[in-house]
Amino acid sequence: MKKIKELIKKYPILSIGILVLISPLVFSGVGHLFIDTGKAEALSVVPRLGPNSELWLGSDMHGRDLFAVAVAGIPLTLYVGFLAGIISLGVGIVLGFLTGYLGGWLDDIVRLFTDSLMTIPSIAVMIVLAISIEENITLNQMALVISSLAWMGPTRVIRAQVLTLKERPFIEVSRLSGMNTFEIIFQEILPNMLPFLAASFTGAVTGSILASVGLEAIGLGPMADPTMGMTLYWAISFTAMLAGMWWWWLPPIIVIMIIFSGLYLIAAGLDKIANPRLEGPQA
């Protein structure tokens, strides 16, 4: 705990990023105390209603309370991004550590497979995968679709870091002391890569949220869930912008911008921890 406080004090951009990122979750948590999220479901086709004392963010063409939609949808949007980020980085860590440290035929096969997949446009493949799944795609399926083509980048960068670290003198000392492969990986290499892996995880989450919002905005998301991307999809489908219904499309865009800003600041702070030279001569 003391070390965490020291890091936050030394890298204020990290604490600012964390506060920015959790602000939408705080908004959602507080919102649950004041509104019934059941109003996020379509009730009936009613005339459009702008923000008022009862509908703080107005309603859409389906009669949904858009404040309730935001309260219910923010955690779902973050859930997809974090789940996809965990899966893609988890695969990247396993493959990156094994191929980087062991090398040999395993490294050749994984590197060939990874390089081949990276030449294929990821968004096109994700669209095909999303379409091939049943119409009622779930949040978990969405995360799997995104992570299925998001693990190659982490695998390559982690492998490169492991290749660098395994040539360090302390790794050679560990080998001579009798430590086996997995002991060296978990006790020597992994602890030295934690700041880098944390920054990589932030990047993976950012890319996953961006991919999920993109897929949802073109109608390939979970239709029954009020995520920010699906809110934009319905707004686009009913030409909310042309109809002047700013309260329909603007709030989800603002939420997405806040989430990305928080993730960017966190990534910048973690990058400074992983690369102290970025602090400049005064560091």
Separation of alpha carbons 153 and 109, rounded Å: 16
pLDDT score, position 23:
94
Instruction: Specify if 3 maps to a domain.
Output: no
Instruction: Specify if 68 maps to a domain.
Output: yes
Q: What is the pTM (predicted TM-score) of this model? A: 0.87
Residue 108 has pLDDT above 80, yes or no: yes
Q: How confident is the model at residue 115 (pLDDT cuts 50, 70, 90)?
A: confident
Instruction: Specify if 218 maps to a domain.
Output: yes
Interior/surface letters 210-236, b for 16+ CB within 10 angstroms, e for the rest = bbbbbbbbeebbbeebbbbbbbbbbbe
Instruction: Report, as an integer, the average pLDDT of 56-63.
Output: 81
- Give the chain's domain count: 1
Separation of alpha carbons 245 and 264, rounded Å: 30
Position with higher pLDDT, 276 vs 210: 210
Domain that residue 83 falls in: 11-279
Instruction: Specify if 125 maps to a domain.
Output: yes
- Give CA separation, 71 vs 75, 200, 243, in Å: 8, 28, 24
SS3 state of residue 49: strand
Longest dimension (CA), the chain: 76
Instruction: Specify if 5 maps to a domain.
Output: no
Instruction: Specify if 181 maps to a domain.
Output: yes
- The CATH number linked to 18 is 1.10.3720.10
pLDDT score, position 62:
77
Instruction: Specify if 221 maps to a domain.
Output: yes
pLDDT score, position 276:
63
pLDDT digits (tens, 9 = 90+) for 228-242: 999 999 999 888 888
Instruction: Specify if 2 maps to a domain.
Output: no
